[in-house]
Amino acid sequence: MTVDRITSATLRAMKRRREPIVSLTCYDAAFCHLLEQAGVDVLLVGDSLGMVLQGQPSTVAVSLEHMVYHTACVSRVGKRALVLADMPFLSYATAERALQAAERLMAEGGAGMVKLEGGAAVLQTVGLLTRFGVPVCGHLGLLPQSVHQIGGYRYQGRDDAGAARIRADALALQEAGASLLVLECVPAELAAALSAELETPVIGIGAGSGTDGQVLVLHDMLGLTPGRSPRFSRNFMADADSVSQAVAAYVAEVRSRAFPGPEQTLA
């Protein structure tokens, strides 16, 4: 039996039906099988692998080679979920580099969509990639690749000026052709308002339950991250007997909008 692959068109249809989109990070074949069986819609091959797999202090050290390798590990066995690959730090600093990186992530890695961080600074790049047939996911709010510039992992858009800037960037990314948008660590009210305003589906992380979907770092939701977990995450293994059961619980709670709850949400 043939299974239809989830695409950007699928995600837009889910948004229209108000059906929450479930996403988790994924870096290898074994977890790809497990997450697809649980019904995860979007497998984000995130540059977060630098921190959870490589032990790096941030995502900055992750190379394009790393991203192509891990994207291929996932896409090689994936059947249904959309494979979304992060474009690593400075891989889209110029138009030429962006096209080369997207080509490698899609042609060699098998990604169905690529993700890049930023607003006004990347609009021309988003437009260029989409004109050449590359589906693009934007990323606003907390930008992990810019952590050294912004001075740490902090919530964004908490004042009027910051919220207005995020809204303007979100609308501009949609106009430039972005097929999907990730909002990270922004107030729930702002994220919900943008999700209602945009035609582009919005996936939140630390952005409340009013977005069109949710994403977490797999290792965070399985309680495998050393030290204190992000406040927006939750250890689903705490009440589960197996990894499969924990992922199934996450999927069910995102679908029902039970997760994130008030304790994971910045008002």
Residues 197 and 32 sit within 8 Å (Cβ to Cβ): no
Q: Enumerate the active-site residues.
A: 184
